[in-house]
Amino acid sequence: MKLGKRLKKLNEMCLNNYEHIWDCCCDHGLLGINLLDRQAAPTIHFVDIVPELIEALNLKLVELFPATPNNQTSWKTYCSDASQLPLDKHQGKHLVIIAGIGGDETMSLINQLHQKFQNLDIDYLLCPVYHQYALRQHLIKLDFSLLDEQLVKERKQFYEILHVSSCSGLKKEISPA
């Protein structure tokens, strides 16, 4: 499935060192499907709060990626608020992708997840549609570390992609702007 520039860059930034990748607010699952296709992690989790989207995605995933004994990558779908991820129920390193929503919503989700799972080592791949400055300020307050950042232009709009970790001091500090 062909991805736009923004989703393509997000896909490229998902390195293969995670046990679980959580594609939150996944809409039609394009990013997660590409992650599954290239076996980016042993388990790809698709999360959206809209039941109709998850039902349609579930049918598509069953067709494209049927469960077989030789599958190295499995998938799961969740019709849930992304703040309710069951990260503590799954062993290993997690990457939580939050893209395509506003910076305020992104900050709210990160707050809730960070409060629940302060003892877990969680990386986030974030691509808000606006409020990037406020998001950066918030990540600095939480003492997150910057792993990577990219700027992508798609359809006359610039998108900032931040790959951050909840572990402070891991790579480098997040710049405020």
The domains found in the chain, sorted by start residue, are: 5-173 (3.40.50.150)
Statement: residue 93 has pLDDT above 70:
yes
Beta bridge partners of 94: 20, 122
Statement: residue 173 has pLDDT above 80:
no
Which tens digit of pLDDT belongs to each residue from 114-145?
A: 999 998 989 999 999 999 999 999 999 999 99
Q: Which two tokens stand for residue 156?
A: 């006359």
Q: What is the pTM of this model?
A: 0.94
Its sign, for the CA torsion 126, 98, 147, 71, is negative
**What's the CA gap between 116 and 110, in Å, rounded?**
10
Query: 127 and 3 in contact (C-beta within 8 Å)?
Result: no
**What's the CA gap between 8 and 152, in Å, rounded?**
10
Mean per-residue pLDDT for 41-59? 96
Q: Which two tokens stand for residue 100?
A: 């395509």
